[in-house]
Amino acid sequence: MKKSDRNTQQERFKMNIPVRIRGMEFSVPELTLTNDDMAKIVETNDEWIRQRTGIGERHVVSGEEDAVTLGVDVAKKLIENTGVDPKTIDMIISATSAPQRPYPSVACEVQNAIGADGASAFDLVAACSGFLYAMQMARANINSGFAKRILVMASDATSKFLDWTDRSSCVLFGDGAAATIMEVSEDGQDDIVNIHLEADGKCKEFISLNLPNQNCPLAEPHKNPENLHIQMAGKDVYKYVMQKIPAIINKTLEEANLTIDDIDYFIPHQANLRMIEALTTRIKIAPEKVLHNIEHYGNMSATSVPCVIAEKLKSGELKTPSTVLLSAFGAGMTSAGAIIKLR
């Protein structure tokens, strides 16, 4: 398939089953690390971190907390606040790239914990773009008639995989989870205007995480990587984002026959406040339309975007009804743009 054929294929695939976004919740660990706390771990200070990242504090897991406990907590919050019967959930998709163990999946653990008996459940790995990827998976399953109600979530405990001696990376990340229900829209309004996904495998070394492994004793030995923490090529990531994400946003708008002036709010991935400010300028959107909370949570991987939505809805800063532009990028490299309706 040529890229020029993609829109035609998407239109052929899309059926007339509209999707409703119902509720949005987030959950973070209780333990908060301020920049002054970080200065006790690595050679840094509050001014250095704020000037370069815009981050003032972040939440990290402690004790037996992990991506599963965070995911279960946010799923239970969502069910309680929406009144959804867990037994009516057909599928659970968890965007997870920092689980405690590769399997069983976070989604399966959540399915058991909330009593969503019979629901299919799986994790999706697209790093920080994961929630938007998961939304598209849910949308496709509802559009096609395969499922009527899907729990879409993101849950990561990235702090477990950081090099806590590397100040360039350990100050950036926080842990958390977020979730929403996507279901058949009974009133005919489609809350998903458009989602555009891309990936660039040639940039795979920009952000990576190696895991220990070994070959069969009778096979040729495999040398384990020396670094088993998250590794980032910060300058390469910045260049990638500044070139790629404005293009992704333009495609997302064009496919929906919209312009940036039709957007009420813009919520980008919360990787770095300086990056958010630069993107705001590049796509020519009014700064007052841009929502962020990176100063209090850091980069929560796939949880970042839905966390902003949930928090700003609760505070009233994000008013409804509204048309919201979302964007994200992550290891892979993956990238995504979405336009949704919130009501």
223-243 burial, b at 16+ Cβ within 10 Å, e below that, comes to eeeeeebbbbeeeebbebbee
**39, burial (CB in 10 Å: exposed 0-12, middle 13-18, buried 19+):** middle
* Catalytic (active site) residue 128: yes
Q: Where do the DSSP E strands lie in 9-168?
A: 19-27, 32-34, 57-59, 91-95, 120-124, 149-156
308 backbone dihedrals φ, ψ, rounded to 5° = -60, -45
Cβ proximity of 13 and 2 under 8 Å:
no
Catalytic option among 203, 269, 292, 307 = 269
* Catalytic (active site) residue 269: yes
Distance in angstroms (rounded) separating the CA atoms of residues 100 and 158: 10
Catalytic option among 35, 59, 128, 196 = 128
216 backbone dihedrals φ, ψ, rounded to 5° = -60, 140
Distance in angstroms (rounded) separating the CA atoms of residues 137 and 123: 11
β-bridge pairing 32-34 and 322-330: unpaired
Cβ proximity of 168 and 12 under 8 Å:
no
Cβ proximity of 176 and 46 under 8 Å:
no
Catalytic option among 141, 272, 293, 299 = 299
Which positions are annotated as active-site residues? 128, 269, 299
